[in-house]
Amino acid sequence: MVSLVSSPLRAILWDVDGTLAETERDGHRIAFNTAFREASIALHWDAEEYGNRLAITGGKERIAAALQQLRGIAPDRAELERLQAAKQLHYSALVEAGAIQLKPGVAAMIAAANAAGLRQALVTTSGRSAVTALVRRCLGSLAEALELWVCGEDVARKKPDPQAYLLAMERLALPPAAALAIEDTGNGLQAATAAGLGCVISLSHYGGSESMQRYDSALAVVQGFGPGAQVIRGPACAAAGVGLAYLQQLAAGRG
């Protein structure tokens, strides 16, 4: 096992959607569809179609592209703002109703990292209101372990651009070698590695459908965290299960 003393790992940077929870399939998709129906817009994304839409990062950007395709003209800013606001309200309601749960092992990993004195941040290009709803409902007091949130409102360019990660590292005042990012998609991996970070892919419903070649630059690809989790690609765990010791092992191996 790699100890904190021998590992350079000082911070963990968590993506949110698909990484902390299956928010895309079970939350955002449903909220988008409800907002479209209320506005009498002839759009409905089933699970497969929504997966295709995820190639466009950012909810507002996703709406704009869909309306452009539907109508042949770009939507005006006011309509986009109304739809995005409605979608966020529906998403928050789903979270509050308990429709979305943390992925297995996430809470335990955050707690273990906090107990070990590691710094932790959320780095997402989702809106702050959506992040707040999820963190408040699903993490409770453990949210205090996340000292920094970088959200969509904080950056001009969204993943796969590295701006969100670069901003997080600047605010944490840490070099890239001192942190690992945890992501679930190729876009997130590209953003993290472009910022100089090592990245672990925790497969999600949609991320798991991508070609594994998209994850070639990841330090490891895992199926969840905890005692029953599996390493799909990457070094074998020196300790049992995919836990904090494994992240420390990966960070030490980067040097």
Q: Select from 134, 126, 130, 132 the least CA-distant residue to 153.
A: 126
- How many other C-beta atoms can be found within 10 angstroms of the C-beta atom of residue 65? 16
**Which strand ranges, in their side-by-side order, compose the sheet holding 220-223?**
146-150, 119-123, 11-14, 179-183, 198-202, 220-223, 230-233
CA-CA distance, 176 to 169, in Å (whole number)?
7
Strands 220-223 and 230-233: antiparallel
Does residue 46 have an active-site annotation?
A: no
Does residue 161 have an active-site annotation?
A: no
Catalytic residue among 15, 26, 46, 161: 15
Q: Select from 148, 110, 141 the least CA-distant residue to 244.
A: 110
Torsion sign, CA atoms 84, 87, 92, 93: positive
Phi, psi of 107 (to 5 degrees): -60, -40
Asked if 58 contacts 152 with a C-beta cutoff of 8 angstroms, the reply is: yes
Task: Give the bridge partners for 11, in sequence order.
Answer: 119, 179
Q: Select from 173, 161, 186, 189 the least CA-distant residue to 121.
A: 173
- How many other C-beta atoms can be found within 10 angstroms of the C-beta atom of residue 200? 27
Active site residues: 15, 17
